[in-house]
Amino acid sequence: MDSSRPAEQPQEPDCRELRDRREPVAVAEGRDHALQFVTQQRPVRAAIIGCGGSGKSHVSKRLGRALNAPVTHLDEVYYDDEWNALSREKFEALQRDLVSGPAWVIDGNYNGTLHIRLEACDTAVFLDLPTWQCLYGIFSRQVRHGSGQQAGGIYNRLTWNFVKYVAGYRRTMRPKVLANLTEHAGHAEEATRVQTPQASSVVQAN
């Protein structure tokens, strides 16, 4: 085997391919457009996913208000006050309990347990924004809120590892998220993939 050959990149499914698999994904032009698109369908069980800094907390709060549905920010239940994480077993059990309700909006990536939310949701919103926009999101959030844990889903701990995670998200994590959407969100009434950021004055994350 020639080790000098570059690793083959996974092929990204486009909207037409997903629709052909009976797994609809609409590509919205911005986060506000996605909210309008989704709320027109009146979903009651919505999974909001995306890279750090993409605006998940902002979108989930607005969607929860629009639908009068309870909102859960997974960071708030995954970490305790000292930033200790739940075990995988407890985190999975907690999410299964959350998605058993008749109406909910849950935001968070956590790709290892994403299938739990996707299998139970009727709407999935993937904030598939460019790397520069997500990096802007995490640094601007740091300026606005500082470090620490605050109400409303703002769990901000800006470390070098987190910056590297955000910078490499589209290369390492995004293909896994798209694969999860393809495999587990086929039953959803609406699956919206938001690709183009609006001006920062339109959506103020968190």
- Selection from 44, 108, 117 nearest residue 73 by Cα: 108
Spatial neighbors of 46 by CB under 8 A, at least 6 apart, are 38, 60, 63, 67, 69, 104, 105, 106, 121, 122, 123, 124, 125
Q: What is the CATH number of domain 19-194?
A: 3.40.50.300
Averaged pLDDT for residues 179-198: 77
DSSP state letter for 13: P
Asked if 57 and 73 touch (Cβ cutoff 8 Å), the reply is yes
Whether 61 shows a pLDDT value over 90: the answer reads no
State mean pLDDT over 48-68: 88
At residue 88, does pLDDT exceed 80? yes
Q: What is the mean pLDDT of the chain?
A: 75
Per-residue pLDDT, 194: 76
Q: Is 14 a residue whose pLDDT tops 70? A: no
Residue with more model confidence, 10 or 81: 81
pLDDT tens digit sequence for 91-135: 999 999 999 999 999 999 999 999 999 999 988 889 999 999 999
